[in-house]
Structure 1
């Protein structure tokens, strides 16, 4: 049942930027090409500076990874906006060869009154963009990247492809979860006395509640992001969506806490031999009044239990291997850093 946790940790390590060996190799080679910053700043490089009024869900203000569900849609939208800004700027610079400070980098462009501020070099991603046209002060870069008067950016509130990525991630995670939990449930179901007993019921409840929690938190994040399109909450639909988002979030977190205690207690009772008693061994939940206890297993019952254990092992290992395979395929589609 706990096999899924190992795979989640492996996936986290593979996707985490802290574990990118190629990035560590380039940490010294790209120092001169990095982006400068103003000195004497004590702020952290990455920090959440929003307040309670800036977000639709309070979970967006919490940094632990378990709260990433509440930030995924907004992060995808913000990342898409930043990407499009740089993409359009590079395409425009390629067409007109527009420099930041003059075409020759000698100040022949607009005068920059902030020459005393540290200049920032762009990382060249196009061979035909002159390097001298990519340097300027911090303030001039802000002016350079600002849209002209009267021009509005047409950025969508929903990042393109975000629901496709969400669908793939959800299906992969659910397949891993139910592949491992289903294997444990299969062992408990087919071990004499067969059918639903204390052990198999604990596995089933854990899987069902986990899936229910995932569904509630996912719906909560979608409704919260939808309400964020109307920050003033003027329309009735926005207020209703936000209210349902809060209800889903509170209920999902309550079920998650209950499920945590359930799975811990199920494991403790399993290994403390608490289930080794008449009520649990007779599978009362599945057989009702016809429940019985197997004292001596027959050859057929032993063969059935053996086949169930083998099938459960194959199911769990196949789910784990498929999860790693899909994760590897998705990693191959990510752009790699230049060597």
Structure 2
């Protein structure tokens, strides 16, 4: 909106036709002090002057905005070509919030911190690989179904019961094999976020628009080439990668559907009795084996309960602990089954058919079933690994951020006049704020996890200052993300409206210093090599990120 308003008012506010005035300088019979070539070197011939120093520019053109008689048409063309397709693509991000405010906040966090968005998407992929890789080693019945269930519940605050006999009944009793199969069916009903014609068309539209404009830039031989458009494209290219990888991850974002699916499955859960036959679970008395905590924990853990994938950064530790507990229980049961150890010591082992464990070997009293999932002392299973996944996700997030936002900054940096200008500076600020938001939320989440863990051991609150620090970081990061979203949208629109077309912004004075100059005219040869390198850098970064999240995913289809 700010850019649209500016586009109306800029042509009439302190505007000057600087190019015409510069052309008049070239028509003079003598060289003025301050005329340069496109690299800022003083010229000795009037005909080769293609630039001027900052001082001469201020004398010739003043401090106002350079006039463009077709500024509104130019704004409309660039806005619709470079920025509008990406703004439309924002609607294809996964949401799933309970309120419109939560969905808006999800958009602001994604746009305000591409680093956080890339981190959460990659973490989802790594968690999926980790859980499927761990459970692929287990041959116990329903283990692979359990892995798919845990994978599908990454967008919720998953809780696995601490009651061994409830968890052991779910895993060991043959009557509960149907529990896992039906839970998967319930989770697949109304799949909340996956490939559709709408989002595929949006992705193709954005990709083709970007590709065609890049090709046009390479083929453009006009003087005074404008890099603003392609720089904006690079600055938003991360969104194409995030949407594509999110669609591939197919997150379940609707907390109501997730809760209903688990509730329906829990109604069919059977528990081991003191005798031989199982009994149905009384949900009013017993704690379910799997549940979603949608209310507990207070405001300090509120991000864990929000189902949008952008909040996966806050769920890594609790989800990993719950998934690890489930894996350890399945692993222990599989270990005993592989060694022909039945649940009940009074019943001899009976051979099953093929790879299936005979149901007779999976029945016993409540205490026997509970003991069956206890890990033997000689069984060393890898359960954690969260730190490694977080590190890899961080590296991929920084790769995507630097490859796209860094390319946008370098595109304007290497466009004559070479150096840090208003445009490249705005992309630098946006990139730094993106990383800062991610760092602040990661720090706040680490503090929150430590507080919850220690309070769980001590039973009462002992860390008020840590809790206050976590809450302060959490709120400050979200405010900064909102401001960063406004910043990048406004600065792109303002660039198209011509606000940065003035002597100071075009002189790269921040890096050129006293030698500051303005390259009024230059050709593709002046920036062709940097353009090729920057385009390759951005393409490899996006391609590498997408390949890592899609091409290397060994898990079965969800």
Q: TM-score, normalised by structure 2?
A: 0.45
Which of structures 1 and 2 has the larger relative contact order (alpha carbons within 8 angstroms, sep 6+)? 2
Contact 1:97 1:129 in 2 (8 A): no
| Higher deviation after alignment, 173-182 or 244-253 | 244-253
Instruction: Say whether residues 1:163 and 2:392 are aligned partners.
Output: no
Contact 1:213 1:252 in 2 (8 A): yes
- CA distance in structure 2 between the partners assigned to 1:47 and 1:206 by the alignment: 36
Contact 1:56 1:228 in 2 (8 A): no
- CA distance in structure 1 between the partners assigned to 2:483 and 2:450 by the alignment: 29
Contact 1:213 1:255 in 2 (8 A): yes
For residues 284-328 of structure 1, the C-alpha deviation after alignment (integer angstroms, 9 at most, x for no partner) is: 43335543322233x6xx423222211110110111122233234
Instruction: Say whether residues 1:268 and 2:513 are aligned partners.
Output: no
Partner of 1:129 in structure 2?
357
- CA distance in structure 1 between the partners assigned to 2:405 and 2:353 by the alignment: 47
Change beyond 3 A, Cα 1:134–1:6? farther
What is the CA distance between 1:165 and its match in structure 2? 0.6
What is the CA distance between 1:270 and its match in structure 2? 2.2
Instruction: Say whether residues 1:315 and 2:537 are aligned partners.
Output: yes
Partner of 1:303 in structure 2?
525
- CA distance in structure 1 between the partners assigned to 2:305 and 2:317 by the alignment: 14
- 1:117-156 equivalences under 5 Å are 127=355, 129-134=357-362, 145-147=369-371
- CA distance in structure 1 between the partners assigned to 2:408 and 2:475 by the alignment: 29
* 1:285 match: secondary structure: helix
Change beyond 3 A, Cα 1:266–1:125? farther
Contact 1:227 1:239 in 2 (8 A): no
Structure 1 residues without counterparts, runs of 5 or longer: 19-33, 105-123
Partner of 1:51 in structure 2?
296
What is the CA distance between 1:220 and its match in structure 2? 1.4
Instruction: Say whether residues 1:191 and 2:415 are aligned partners.
Output: yes
- CA distance in structure 2 between the partners assigned to 1:330 and 1:72 by the alignment: 20
Contact 1:185 1:200 in 2 (8 A): yes
Change beyond 3 A, Cα 1:257–1:313? same
Partner of 1:13 in structure 2?
247
Of 397, 418, 427 in structure 2, the residue corresponding to residue 203 of structure 1 is 427
- CA distance in structure 2 between the partners assigned to 1:126 and 1:145 by the alignment: 23
For residues 28-52 of structure 1, the C-alpha deviation after alignment (integer angstroms, 9 at most, x for no partner) is: xxxxxx998269x9xxx97543324
Change beyond 3 A, Cα 1:152–1:225? farther
- CA distance in structure 2 between the partners assigned to 1:237 and 1:58 by the alignment: 20
What is the CA distance between 1:245 and its match in structure 2? 2.1
* 1:229 match: secondary structure: helix
- 1:86-125 equivalences under 5 Å are 86-99=330-343
Partner of 1:80 in structure 2?
324
Count how many residue pairs are aligned between Structure 1 and Structure 2: 288
The structure with more radius of gyration: 2
- CA distance in structure 2 between the partners assigned to 1:226 and 1:166 by the alignment: 16
Contact 2:347 2:361 in 1 (8 A): yes
Partner of 1:250 in structure 2?
475
Change beyond 3 A, Cα 1:152–1:242? farther
Contact 2:444 2:471 in 1 (8 A): yes
Of 547, 554, 557 in structure 2, the residue corresponding to residue 325 of structure 1 is 547
Structure 2 residues without counterparts, runs of 5 or longer: 1-234, 253-264, 270-279, 284-289
For residues 170-219 of structure 1, the C-alpha deviation after alignment (integer angstroms, 9 at most, x for no partner) is: 10111111011111111100111221111101110111110111111112
What is the CA distance between 1:144 and its match in structure 2? 6.1
- CA distance in structure 2 between the partners assigned to 1:234 and 1:17 by the alignment: 34
Partner of 1:291 in structure 2?
516
What is the CA distance between 1:77 and its match in structure 2? 1.2
Contact 1:73 1:159 in 2 (8 A): no
| Higher deviation after alignment, 285-294 or 124-133 | 124-133
Contact 1:56 1:225 in 2 (8 A): no
What is the CA distance between 1:6 and its match in structure 2? 0.9
Of 200, 212, 220 in structure 1, the residue corresponding to residue 444 of structure 2 is 220
Partner of 1:70 in structure 2?
314
For residues 236-271 of structure 1, the C-alpha deviation after alignment (integer angstroms, 9 at most, x for no partner) is: 974444333222212221211111111111121122
Partner of 2:398 in structure 1?
174
Change beyond 3 A, Cα 1:188–1:51? same
Contact 2:343 2:369 in 1 (8 A): no
Q: TM-score, normalised by structure 1?
A: 0.71
- CA distance in structure 2 between the partners assigned to 1:180 and 1:125 by the alignment: 55
Partner of 1:37 in structure 2?
268
Q: CA RMSD in A?
A: 3.9
